[in-house]
Amino acid sequence: MHVEVVVAFLGPSAYISPDHYASQPHFPTWAYAAVHVTGRPRLLDEVRTMRQLDDLIEDQESRLAPKQPWSLPRRASALFDEYLRLIQGSRSRSGTSTACTSLARTSPRPTWPPRHGPSGSAARTA
């Protein structure tokens, strides 16, 4: 059976206060970026799933330096076995990709730090 899936990759996102705009009036908004990718998944066996987990954990842990990196335990434990039972690795070749962004609702673009406070007064700067 061939199944097609949609995977959402979420990028950065942030609330944008009306105070971030130099001119008034503005309304609060949300800036975000995402990509939706379609494809046909292929399930991985246990060995490849473990390799995928090792690679993912190593990549993410390396970003937390100077912290000592955490890695998957190599000995069996009830908790470890329970988690692994719930994880299924997969790979997919991309079909279509659709980008979805909302980075600036209106012109002019937001300024940082805000030039005006909530009532239009000058914003405090640290």
What would the pLDDT profile of 45-91 be if each residue is shown by its tens digit? 999 999 999 999 999 999 998 999 988 777 667 888 888 889 999 99
84 contacts 74 by C-beta, under 8 angstroms: no
Lowest mean pLDDT among 3-7, 23-27, 77-81, 118-122: 118-122
For 111, residues 6+ apart whose C-beta sits below 8 A from its C-beta are 20, 21, 22
- In this prediction, residue 2 has a pLDDT band, given cuts at 50, 70 and 90, of confident
Residue appearing with tokens 């494809």: 39
Tell me the three state secondary structure of residue 103: coil
Residue 111: per-residue pLDDT? 47
Mean of the per-residue pLDDT values of the chain: 79
Give the residue among 33, 79, 72 at the shortest CA–CA distance from 52.
72
Residue boundaries of the structural domains of the chain: 1-42+91-126, 45-88
- In this prediction, residue 113 has a pLDDT band, given cuts at 50, 70 and 90, of very low
CB neighbour burial string for 70-107, b if at least 16 within 10 angstroms, e if fewer: eeeeeeeeeeeeeeeeeeebeeeeeeeeeeeeeeeeee
Residue appearing with tokens 């799933």: 49
- pTM of the full predicted structure? 0.57
Q: Mean pLDDT throughout 30-34?
A: 90
Residue 115: per-residue pLDDT? 45
Q: Residue 109 pLDDT > 70, yes or no?
A: no
Sign of the CA dihedral 42, 91, 34, 69?
positive
